[in-house]
Chain A
Amino acid sequence: MERLPLKSKVLNENQIVAESLRERFREHGVLCLNLISGPGSGKTALLERTLASLDRATRVCVLTGDIQTDNDARRLAQYGFPVQQITTGGTCHLDGRMIEKHLAAWDLDEIDLLFIENVGNLVCPSSYDLGEASKIVLLSVTEGEDKPLKYPSIFFKSDLFVLTKIDLLPYVPFNADVAEANARLVHPGIEIVRASSTAEGGLDAWLAWLKQRMAQARQDTLAPAGA
């Protein structure tokens, strides 16, 4: 019997694909954001309102993942931006190969902002790098404020936490400050915005964050690699 040391990561194959996607996004100046939440937290609604409010000159594309149906792609296609549905047929997360395959239909030079709406699941998508610039986790006020402690992985790996459906706060026993404090326990540096996809001005903080990240992505693309 012999013991061979193994140094690689278990998801090494996915990591290789993800790194090549990340490099392509950087080269072509694409800001890629990976939206993750449990089912029903409002990922599609947030994207709908975001697409509706974006300047028509902004070149946005959306890849939306679900286990079954192309309902989300049809909802999002109404706003006039290119949308593709990724139907996983049972798999609970998107992986790098699925993104690579669906991107083949698009010219990255024609995209400034790529949203990936992951399969509704607070656990599995956190393990799979899709080459995104940032993971974004959504949690709605109709869920529990202890979710960041129950599902620490995704809060740890996300750069931004969007607390959604805050228009419902008067009607539900949810303490937003506690939810945010829990997220900061798991990930002290996480950025947080509160959002409502139905209230007037409910997406102002989210859109400001988005605008700032897009400006930063443009600068990073203009700067030479490794600078």
Chain B
Amino acid sequence: MHELSIAESILEAVRKEIADRPGTRPIRVGLRIGELTAVDVDSLTFCFEAVLKGTDWESLRLDARVCLLRRTCNDCSNEFAVVDYNVNCPTCGGGSTKLSSGDELDFDYLEVETDGTPAVKVEGAE
């Protein structure tokens, strides 16, 4: 259940991000989660809702996009989806490939609303 620790880290990062933007409310936080990270999206969503309980941000939503395993061939530069853990390049058959996607646990974006007046740019509100 490291999803609970990760949910707390997400909330902490959102707090930091909007700390210097008064009147701004976070609506949705986007994440990119690689297949290899052993993070379960359903469990993370459940934990995230749990850590938001009793805060002002109960309606804050997670948008977690799962990134599938992909590798890039060192010989022909082809990027391919890995099927059944086969790391060899399907185009040239080369065995020298490196991971290009699948181990990310990254923030993507944060959607915010400023003082209940949507479509107002944060820069304009300052």
Contacts and interface: CB of A to CB of B under 8 A. Distances in A.
A92 B2 contact: yes
Contacts of B29: 6
Given A13-B12, A91-B5, A127 B107 contact: no
B87 to A, nearest CB: 6
A144 interface: no
Interface residues of A, number: 33
A124 B2 contact: yes
A93 B1 CA distance: 9
Interface in B1-22: 1-2, 5-6, 9-10, 12-13, 17
B85 A186 contact: yes
A104 to B, nearest CB: 22
A151 B85 contact: no
Nearest to A14: B9
Interface stretch (B35-43, B51-59, B72-80): B35-43
A8 B119 CA distance: 25
Contacts of A128: 2
A1 B105 contact: no
B121 to A, nearest CB: 6
A215 interface: no
B33 to A, nearest CB: 8
B118 A9 contact: no
B115 interface: no
Interface stretch (A26-34, A152-160, A201-209): A152-160
Nearest to B121: A2
A30 B86 CA distance: 36
Contacts of A157: 103
B10 A10 contact: yes
Contacts, number: 96
Nearest to A11: B9
A119 to B, nearest CB: 10
Contacts of A154: 38
Contact of B38 (A1, A8, A126): A126
A1 B36 contact: no
A4 B109 contact: yes
A2 B114 contact: yes
A140 B36 CA distance: 22
A188 interface: yes
A32 to B, nearest CB: 21
Contacts of B109: 3-6
A45 interface: no
Nearest to A95: B5
A185 B2 contact: no
Given A11-B6, A92-B1, A153-B36, A4 B13 contact: no
6 contacts: A1-B113, A2-B112, A2-B113, A13-B12, A92-B2, A185-B86
Interface of A: 1-14, 91-93, 95, 123-124, 126-128, 149, 151-154, 156-157, 185-186, 188
